[in-house]
Protein backbone atom coordinates (compact mmCIF):
# COMPACT_ATOMS: atom_id res chain seq x y z
CA UNK A 1 0.00 0.00 0.00
CA UNK A 2 1.45 3.28 -0.88
CA UNK A 3 1.59 5.69 1.84
CA UNK A 4 2.40 9.29 1.78
CA UNK A 5 5.73 8.99 3.24
CA UNK A 6 7.92 11.79 3.64
CA UNK A 7 11.08 10.86 1.98
CA UNK A 8 13.92 12.70 3.20
CA UNK A 9 15.56 14.15 0.29
CA UNK A 10 19.26 13.94 0.80
CA UNK A 11 21.27 16.70 -0.62
CA UNK A 12 23.45 15.71 -3.51
CA UNK A 13 26.33 17.76 -1.97
CA UNK A 14 29.04 15.47 -0.88
CA UNK A 15 31.06 17.66 1.46
CA UNK A 16 33.96 15.24 2.00
CA UNK A 17 33.67 16.30 5.63
CA UNK A 18 35.54 13.28 6.91
CA UNK A 19 38.62 13.98 4.83
CA UNK A 20 38.63 17.65 5.59
CA UNK A 21 38.13 17.01 9.27
CA UNK A 22 40.98 14.57 9.20
CA UNK A 23 43.18 17.14 7.49
CA UNK A 24 42.31 19.82 9.99
CA UNK A 25 42.78 17.58 12.99
CA UNK A 26 46.07 16.25 11.71
CA UNK A 27 47.29 19.79 11.05
CA UNK A 28 46.33 20.74 14.53
CA UNK A 29 48.11 17.72 15.94
CA UNK A 30 51.25 18.55 13.95
CA UNK A 31 51.07 22.08 15.16
CA UNK A 32 50.85 20.90 18.74
CA UNK A 33 53.78 18.55 18.23
CA UNK A 34 55.81 21.35 16.70
CA UNK A 35 54.92 23.68 19.51
CA UNK A 36 55.89 21.08 22.12
CA UNK A 37 59.21 20.33 20.46
CA UNK A 38 59.96 23.99 20.00
CA UNK A 39 59.23 24.65 23.65
CA UNK A 40 61.56 21.84 24.65
CA UNK A 41 64.30 23.17 22.39
CA UNK A 42 63.90 26.63 23.82
CA UNK A 43 64.04 25.25 27.32
CA UNK A 44 67.15 23.20 26.55
CA UNK A 45 68.86 26.16 24.94
CA UNK A 46 68.01 28.28 27.95
CA UNK A 47 69.54 25.61 30.19
CA UNK A 48 72.63 25.56 27.99
CA UNK A 49 72.93 29.31 28.33
CA UNK A 50 72.52 29.07 32.09
CA UNK A 51 75.11 26.29 32.29
CA UNK A 52 77.55 28.29 30.16
CA UNK A 53 77.18 31.30 32.41
CA UNK A 54 77.62 29.12 35.48
CA UNK A 55 80.76 27.55 34.01
CA UNK A 56 82.15 30.97 33.25
CA UNK A 57 81.37 32.13 36.78
CA UNK A 58 82.98 29.02 38.29
CA UNK A 59 86.08 29.47 36.15
CA UNK A 60 86.36 33.04 37.33
CA UNK A 61 85.82 31.99 40.95
CA UNK A 62 88.50 29.32 40.62
CA UNK A 63 90.89 31.94 39.25
CA UNK A 64 90.23 34.23 42.20
CA UNK A 65 90.66 31.45 44.77
CA UNK A 66 93.85 30.34 43.05
CA UNK A 67 95.20 33.89 43.19
CA UNK A 68 94.31 34.16 46.88
CA UNK A 69 96.02 30.86 47.66
CA UNK A 70 99.15 31.80 45.72
CA UNK A 71 99.36 35.11 47.55
CA UNK A 72 99.05 33.27 50.87
CA UNK A 73 101.93 30.88 50.30
CA UNK A 74 104.63 33.32 49.31
CA UNK A 75 108.00 32.88 51.00
CA UNK A 76 107.58 36.05 53.04
CA UNK A 77 104.28 34.93 54.53
CA UNK A 78 105.55 31.42 55.20
CA UNK A 79 108.62 32.85 56.90
CA UNK A 80 106.47 35.10 59.01
CA UNK A 81 104.25 32.19 60.10
CA UNK A 82 107.24 29.96 60.78
CA UNK A 83 108.80 32.62 62.96
CA UNK A 84 105.57 33.39 64.75
CA UNK A 85 104.85 29.77 65.62
CA UNK A 86 108.43 28.85 66.42
CA UNK A 87 108.74 26.29 63.65
CA UNK A 88 112.11 27.51 62.41
CA UNK A 89 114.73 24.81 62.12
CA UNK A 90 118.47 25.06 62.44
CA UNK A 91 121.23 23.22 60.70
CA UNK A 92 122.24 20.10 62.65
CA UNK A 93 125.10 20.31 65.09
CA UNK A 94 128.26 18.69 63.70
CA UNK A 95 127.99 15.97 66.32
CA UNK A 96 124.63 15.10 64.85
CA UNK A 97 126.04 14.72 61.37
CA UNK A 98 127.39 11.44 60.07
CA UNK A 99 128.84 11.52 56.59
CA UNK A 100 128.40 8.39 54.55
CA UNK A 101 130.42 7.07 51.66
CA UNK A 102 128.84 5.94 48.42
CA UNK A 103 129.01 2.38 49.75
CA UNK A 104 126.74 3.34 52.63
CA UNK A 105 129.44 3.18 55.28
CA UNK A 106 130.31 6.04 57.63
CA UNK A 107 133.19 8.05 56.19
CA UNK A 108 136.33 7.12 58.11
CA UNK A 109 137.80 9.42 60.70
CA UNK A 110 134.61 11.00 61.97
CA UNK A 111 134.76 11.91 65.61
CA UNK A 112 131.02 12.29 65.72
CA UNK A 113 130.53 8.56 65.14
CA UNK A 114 133.17 7.45 67.63
CA UNK A 115 132.05 9.88 70.25
CA UNK A 116 128.41 9.05 69.82
CA UNK A 117 129.08 5.35 70.33
CA UNK A 118 131.35 5.90 73.28
CA UNK A 119 128.95 8.32 74.87
CA UNK A 120 126.06 5.96 74.37
CA UNK A 121 128.05 3.17 76.02
CA UNK A 122 129.33 5.07 78.98
CA UNK A 123 127.18 8.18 79.23
CA UNK A 124 130.38 10.16 79.63
CA UNK A 125 129.92 13.74 78.42
CA UNK A 126 133.67 14.21 78.45
CA UNK A 127 133.70 12.27 75.22
CA UNK A 128 131.52 14.85 73.51
CA UNK A 129 133.05 17.59 71.41
CA UNK A 130 133.85 20.90 73.10
CA UNK A 131 130.90 22.53 71.44
CA UNK A 132 128.49 19.85 72.61
CA UNK A 133 129.83 20.19 76.16
CA UNK A 134 129.38 23.97 76.02
CA UNK A 135 125.79 23.55 74.89
CA UNK A 136 125.11 20.98 77.61
CA UNK A 137 126.45 23.39 80.24
CA UNK A 138 124.09 26.06 79.03
Least separation in angstroms between residue 111's CB and other proteins is: 5
Spatial contact of 119 and 128, defined as CB atoms under 8 Å apart: yes
Of residues 60 through 99, those in contact with other proteins by CB under 8 A are: 60-61, 63-64, 66-68, 70-71, 73-76, 91, 94, 97, 99
The CB-based long-range contact list for 93-100 (8 Å cut-off, 24+ gap) reads 93/131, 93/132, 93/135, 94/129, 94/131, 95/128, 95/129, 95/131, 95/132
The contact pattern for other proteins, residues 112-131, with x = CB under 8 A and - = no contact, is xxx--xx----------xxx
Spatial contact of 116 and 134, defined as CB atoms under 8 Å apart: no
Question: Which positions touch other proteins (CB under 8 A)?
Answer: 11-13, 15, 17, 20, 23-24, 27, 31, 34, 41-42, 45-46, 48-49, 60-61, 63-64, 66-68, 70-71, 73-76, 91, 94, 97, 99, 105-114, 117-118, 129-131
Amino acid sequence: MRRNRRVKKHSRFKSGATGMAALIVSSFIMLMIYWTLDSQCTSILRDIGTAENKLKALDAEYGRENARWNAMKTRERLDEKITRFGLAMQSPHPDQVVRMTAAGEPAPGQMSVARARARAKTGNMALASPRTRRQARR
